Amino acid sequence: MIMPLHNLLLSVSALVAASLAHPVAAQPFQIDQAALATACGQGGCAAQVSAQIAQMRAAGLDAAALNSGLGQLAAVLIAAAQAAPQDTVADYAAALAVVANASTEPAQAAAIAAAAQAVANNAAATIDLETGVAASAG
């Protein structure tokens, strides 16, 4: 099923906003944006994202904290994809698919997968990160 672009924007925006509205106390990890910047666009974005997700899991986060971190990671990737050169969008889309597959929250996973598809279709600029992306419901 293909979601209309307007509905995709609303879904992704609402999920990111919820992610940022429920901060996780004392996260034992931090998104390594420098590593992402180095890897993404050079064909290594998905591998770097996988490594960062593995660090989140190794930190022993519960499902809500993991999903919150995944939402934040998705937002970072989408923002970067919006500013990235056209020839790197496939790398960002693949990385977002990794994030979507890691989520334990079905609505979050679907929204991130839809964002990955939008990025793959060169529509990253249509994703509104000001309103929000990819949160956990709990």
Indicate the range of 6-15, 37-46, 90-99 predicted with least confidence: 6-15
How many beta carbons lie within 10 A of that of residue 74, not counting itself?
A: 31
- Every domain of the chain and the residues it spans: 34-126
pLDDT in tens, 27-53: 557 899 999 999 997 899 999 999 999
Nearest alpha carbon to residue 30 among 72, 67, 60: 72
- What amino acid is encoded at 24 in this protein? V
Q: How far is the C-alpha of 30 from the C-alpha of 28, rounded, in Å?
A: 7
Are 32 and 60 in contact by the 8 Å Cβ rule? The answer is: no
Instruction: With both helix axes pointing from N to C terminus, report the angle between 63-83 and 5-21 in degrees, rounded to the nearest 10.
Output: 130
* Residue of 102, 124, 107 whose CA lies nearest to 40: 124
Report the predicted TM-score, pTM, of the whole model to 2 decimal places: 0.78
Q: What is the mean pLDDT of residues 7-15?
A: 47
Please say if the pLDDT value at position 17 is more than 50.
Answer: no
d(CA 55, CA 70): 12
User: DSSP secondary structure string, 24-88?
Assistant: PTT-S----HHHHHHHTTTT-HHHHHHHHHHHHHHTT--HHHHHHHHHHHHHHHHHHHHHS-GGG
